Amino acid sequence: MLATLGMTVFVFTLVLLLGNVIKDVLKLVIGREITLPVALHAVVLLVPYVLAYSLPIGMLTAALLVFGRFSAEQELTAARASGISLLSLITPVLLLSVLVSGLSAWLNFDLAPSGRVAEKELLFRAIKEHPSYVLQSNESARFRDHIIWVGKKDGTNLENVIISHYDQSNELNELIKGASGNVVSDPANQQIILNLRDVHTMRHSGDGWKPVVDSAEATFPIKYPNETDTSVFMGPGEMTFRQLLEKRAEIERSLSDSPSTGKTQEQLLEVQRQFRSMTADMTTPLLVYLNRDVALSCACIGFTLIGIPLGIRAHRRETSVGVATALALMLVYYSFLVLAQAWAGHAERAPYLIVWIPDFIFQSVGAVLLWRANRGI
């Protein structure tokens, strides 16, 4: 099991690493925006990030391959004839899945996001004349005294944009939300320009948060980030587990002073509704990544539970069958994660709960199939 796990993790790491290299690095090398040594350094920094995904896939594939051959060569029948139950045989494998799950948690909670930040920082230093690079879908980026969250980015076009402005004491004092818009780089003035449509703004003053007159269109020049400020590269996907918790607490603390002065009851209810909606828009992505990190770490256990009985049922020696089954199950599992991240800007859909659905399904179905396999059903 250990030998097969090492092989499958190595293969899947190479495949996933290649996909990330093509997406993030190769186009910059071809465009001569970065040198080959910088590209190789970026690839090394991506390894922990890729391992966080390849470990669960490797565990599933290893379970399918090992127990498929174990069953096909009648070793399971021989073990049962000797009075050894299936549960006795797989206990070390289940313990291994728990250990791999702990390693996966370490990667997801700390190493993977830290490596991702270092990789983005490295690439940004190399292409600093293109600062809009740090704006990515379902991520936030810091530009000096602004934090910009983008729900979706397609080229220069943006959707569901939230701009948080901080004063000199690093206190949140303005929130701006635009339904759509675009970004333009302005290297001459060391800034990017956000042209937003359907804009809603709220400002904090001495008597709490108050809405500003909405506008159909508005332009916001944002100064380039300081080159020494690494927080520009830390969207929710690049934060460690502790940083996600601290960021969520900070947002809730900053937004705790709701507006309540000089308003009629109807106006107050409308302002509070907008306020709660904007608060949810800012904290929901953090909740999605917090739950994703924990759920993805537990995936190794669920994949092992379902991989063992499926391998026994397949009763095949061929590696191709096990790999094909693993890829199909992997597609089902990660489609839920992709859906949750795509809905991170829609608090009303509770996307942070979606990441737990495949874990619940795989562990429940795997436990039932394993019970049936142990009884010879």
Judge if 104 and 150 occupy the same domain: no
**Residue 360: predicted pLDDT:** 93
Judge if 150 and 279 occupy the same domain: yes
**Residues in Cβ contact with 366 at an 8 Å cutoff, skipping those fewer than 6 apart:** 302, 304, 305, 306, 307, 308, 309
Q: How far apart are CA 321 and CA 335, in angstroms?
A: 21
Judge if 236 and 298 occupy the same domain: no
Residue with the bigger pLDDT between 354 and 20: it is 354
315-332 core/surface letters (b: 16 or more CB in 10 A; e: else): bbeeeebbbebbeebbee
Q: Which amino acid is at 184?
A: V
User: Which residue is listed with tokens 């983008």?
Assistant: 150
What tens digit of pLDDT does each residue of 25-58 get? 776 677 565 677 878 888 888 899 899 999 999 9
Tokens representing 197 are: 């449509």
Q: Is residue 178 part of a domain?
A: yes
Judge if 266 and 146 occupy the same domain: yes
Q: H-helix or E-strand containing 48?
A: helix 36-72
Q: Is residue 14 part of a domain?
A: yes
Q: Using the predicted structure, report yes or no on whether residue 158 has a pLDDT greater than 80.
A: yes
- If you count them, how many residues does the chain have? 377
Tokens representing 21 are: 């290299």
Q: Using the predicted structure, report yes or no on whether residue 99 has a pLDDT greater than 90.
A: yes
Q: Using the predicted structure, report yes or no on whether residue 259 has a pLDDT greater than 70.
A: no
Q: Is residue 325 part of a domain?
A: no
Beta bridge partners of 150: 139, 161
Judge if 117 and 101 occupy the same domain: yes
The dihedral through the CA atoms of 257, 260, 266, 267 has a sign that is: negative
Q: Using the predicted structure, report yes or no on whether residue 94 has a pLDDT greater than 90.
A: yes
Phi, psi of 229 (to 5 degrees): -90, 95
Judge if 244 and 308 occupy the same domain: no
Judge if 170 and 52 occupy the same domain: no
Number of domains in the chain: 2
Tokens representing 41 are: 């350094």
281 alpha carbon, distance to own chain's centre: 16
Q: How far apart are CA 147 and CA 346, in angstroms?
A: 19
Q: Which of 89-103, 166-180, 222-236, 317-331 has the highest mean pLDDT?
A: 89-103
Q: Number of C-alpha atoms within 13 angstroms, CB side, residue 345? A: 18
Q: Is residue 13 part of a domain?
A: yes
Per-residue pLDDT band at 254 (split at 50, 70, 90): low
Judge if 141 and 226 occupy the same domain: yes
Q: How far apart are CA 242 and CA 256, in angstroms?
A: 21
CB 268: neighbour CB atoms within 10 A? Answer: 15
pTM confidence score: 0.67
Q: Number of C-alpha atoms within 13 angstroms, CB side, residue 51? A: 24
Phi, psi of 185 (to 5 degrees): -80, 140
Helix axes 265-314, 36-72, angle to 10 degrees: 50
Please name which of 321, 362, 300 lies closest in space to residue 1, comparing C-alpha atoms. 300
Last residue within a domain, chosen from 285, 305, 339: 285
What tens digit of pLDDT does each residue of 124-151 get? 666 555 555 667 777 777 777 888 888 8
Judge if 244 and 185 occupy the same domain: yes
Q: Is residue 320 part of a domain?
A: no
Q: Using the predicted structure, report yes or no on whether residue 100 has a pLDDT greater than 90.
A: yes
Judge if 190 and 267 occupy the same domain: yes
Q: Can you give the residue range of the structural domain that contains 100?
A: 2-128+290-313+353-374
Residue 123 and residue 42 in contact, taking contact as beta carbons nearer than 8 Å: yes
Q: Is residue 148 part of a domain?
A: yes
Among 62-76, 149-163, 190-204, 221-235, whose mean pLDDT is lowest?
221-235
Residue with the bigger pLDDT between 37 and 265: it is 37
Judge if 80 and 111 occupy the same domain: yes
Reduce the secondary structure of 288-303 to three states and give it as a string. HHHHHHHHHHHHHHHH
What tens digit of pLDDT does each residue of 266-300 get? 655 665 566 666 666 667 788 888 899 999 999 99
Judge if 108 and 38 occupy the same domain: yes
Tokens representing 240 are: 């460690």
Last residue within a domain, chosen from 285, 302, 334: 285
Q: Is residue 338 part of a domain?
A: no
**Residue 28: predicted pLDDT:** 67
Exposed/middle/buried for residue 242 (C-beta within 10 Å: 0-12, 13-18, 19+): exposed
Q: Is residue 247 part of a domain?
A: yes
Please name which of 283, 273, 263, 290 lies closest in space to residue 172, comparing C-alpha atoms. 283
